[in-house]
Amino acid sequence: MTTLETIIVGAGIAGIAAGAKLRREGLSGDMLILERANDIGGTWRDNVYPGVACDIPASLYEYSFRPNPRWKNRFSTGADIQSYLGDVVAEEGLTEHLRFGTDVTAMEWNDADELWELSTTRGPLRCRVLILAVGRLSAPIIPDLAGLETFTGPIMHSSTWDASVDFGGSRVGVVGTGASAVQLVPQLAALGAATTVFQRSAAWVVPRADAPVAPEKTDEFARNPAALRAHRDALFAEAEAGHTARVSDGVEREALRMTALDHLDAQVADRELRRRLTPDYEIGCKRVLLSDDYYPALASGAVALEPSALVALDGNVGVAASGARIPIDVLVFATGFSATRPPFADIVRGRNGRLLAEHWSKGMTAYASILMAGFPNLFVLDGPNAALGHNSAFAMIEAQVELMANLIGRMATQPVAIVETTDAAEQNWSAELDAASTDSVWLSGCTSWYVDDRSGRVTLLWPGTAAEFQLALRDVAREPLPAAASVRPFVTSAAV
């Protein structure tokens, strides 16, 4: 069986970051990046619904080590991000490490050999270091609705878009009002679809104010990296300022609330529609959405609002919680992803065959967001308490990758075969995060994918700022490694 030094599972933003970092540090050796799909990009490969775009400013939503001076807009489209990621893969020399069409079906730690054993759809593999970069928005949720099987029209999730469907003139039912729904709903209306949105909870929406970046600006950024860096730093600081509104109910939250209510007031003249679109929970409890065309699509009558959940299908009629019965030709689920219970946890077994899903039976935990006790030499990226609502995922992923590379680097240069945390360290880390989340807006009484319904803990979000996350992980990198459980020479059996 082929034995490798390092395997990265997933070729999205995190997997690319990990591969690039290890390569830059001279640690990539015979590293493989396994990807079940046939392209890189993860979220940005899969999400191709009309209108897909990012709501974090483009110059923040990129790798710090690969700044792009030529983003076309303040906010990038999904296609622009996907194209950027493709360039990064090529420029960072990752192409030769990629293995597409390789689905990992099981991962188990072999204590005797101190290796991870992987089953994949292309045969078994073994490795010393296993990096899970499978994303948190990769397992779509389709609600288990009564009578769904009686619906005969096309059904899709926002992340499994079927562009062959003729939306024009169709009656489209969109389920959900999250970040994906507010982007695709106006676009469906523009395609001529008679669209109804099933709203279980109204969303807080603030202005997006997208605009092209002036050519003089992109030319300046291309000429002058320091100007680009300063632009990025200013955007970072602006995003970080948004954190205060999430953790304390003071003037910042009130200002955010007023911005959203003014936006609704300016865009929706009809008082009754405005009432239905006004959230009944604190702003920031769920992700705050950015849109300039969602409310106008509803206010113009191009899109109908059903102010209750879709609860059942009766053939091609959607049955809402309100009792309304709405004929539907095409059903679109913008119902999010299984983020708090990631499916990969069901196929990872650590010491003594312990399943990661068992380890996480009360919700995800980790030490320093990337290490779990009993799972040696396993690094999870984008896992527990590593997401943000107010700043860029790239900042968080790069901080995790920095720590991961530090630990792997020390494994390579010191007589250490195993990097593993302890139960106590993992529990202390989680307890501190729990304490920091206690009075936050995320626990103020809404349901969201930030919170695990088994424990009521905030398991997805880092409760602090992005800068605090970076500093906390840098501190961990300064800690001594635990004494090696055993030291054995590692002999690779494969050349990539």
414-443 positions binding ligand NAP, by CB under 6 A: none
- CA 201 to chain centroid: 21
- Helix 225-241 × helix 215-223 angle, to 10°: 110
Residues 57 and 413: their CA atoms lie apart, in Å, by 39
- Helix 13-24 × helix 393-413 angle, to 10°: 40
Quick one: which segment of 28-36, 125-133, 174-182, 410-418 binds ligand NAP (CB under 6 A)?
174-182
Cβ nearer to ligand NAP, comparing 177 with 400: 177
Closest approach of ligand NAP to the CB of residue 58, in Å: 11
Provide the residue count of the chain: 496
Q: Does 383 bind ligand NAP (CB under 6 A)?
A: no
- Can you name the residues that pair with 107 across neighbouring β-strands? 118, 348
> What is the token pair recorded at 463?
């409760």
> What is the token pair recorded at 83?
């194209």
Q: Does 195 bind ligand NAP (CB under 6 A)?
A: no
Cβ nearer to ligand NAP, comparing 130 with 137: 137
Closest by CA to 291, choosing from 281, 271, 277, 301, is 277
- Please tell me whether residue 261 adopts helix, strand or coil conformation: helix
Cβ nearer to ligand NAP, comparing 201 with 385: 201
Closest approach of ligand NAP to the CB of residue 240, in Å: 17
Q: Does 305 bind ligand NAP (CB under 6 A)?
A: no
Asked if 152 and 310 touch (Cβ cutoff 8 Å), the reply is no
Residues 367 and 355: their CA atoms lie apart, in Å, by 17
Q: Does 447 bind ligand NAP (CB under 6 A)?
A: yes
Q: Does 287 bind ligand NAP (CB under 6 A)?
A: yes
Asked if 309 and 320 touch (Cβ cutoff 8 Å), the reply is yes
Cβ nearer to ligand NAP, comparing 97 with 136: 136
Cβ nearer to ligand NAP, comparing 185 with 378: 185
Q: Does 196 bind ligand NAP (CB under 6 A)?
A: no
Q: Does 291 bind ligand NAP (CB under 6 A)?
A: no
Q: Does 285 bind ligand NAP (CB under 6 A)?
A: no
Please list the alpha-helical segments (H only) found in 177-224: 179-190, 215-223
Asked if 392 and 239 touch (Cβ cutoff 8 Å), the reply is yes
Q: Does 137 bind ligand NAP (CB under 6 A)?
A: yes
Q: Does 221 bind ligand NAP (CB under 6 A)?
A: no
- In order of 187, 398, 420, 493, the CA distances from 127 in angstroms are 45, 23, 16, 10
Residue 83 makes CB contacts below 8 A (sequence gap 6+) with none
Quick one: which segment of 118-126, 178-186, 223-231, 431-439 binds ligand NAP (CB under 6 A)?
178-186
Closest approach of ligand NAP to the CB of residue 70, in Å: 20
Q: Does 385 bind ligand NAP (CB under 6 A)?
A: no
Residue 123 makes CB contacts below 8 A (sequence gap 6+) with none
Cβ nearer to ligand NAP, comparing 6 with 47: 47
The site string for ligand NAP over 307-346 (x = CB under 6 A, - otherwise) reads --xx-----------------------xxxx---------
Contacts with ligand NAP, residue ranges (CB under 6 A): 53-56, 137, 143, 158, 175-181, 198, 200-201, 286-287, 309-310, 334-337, 447, 449
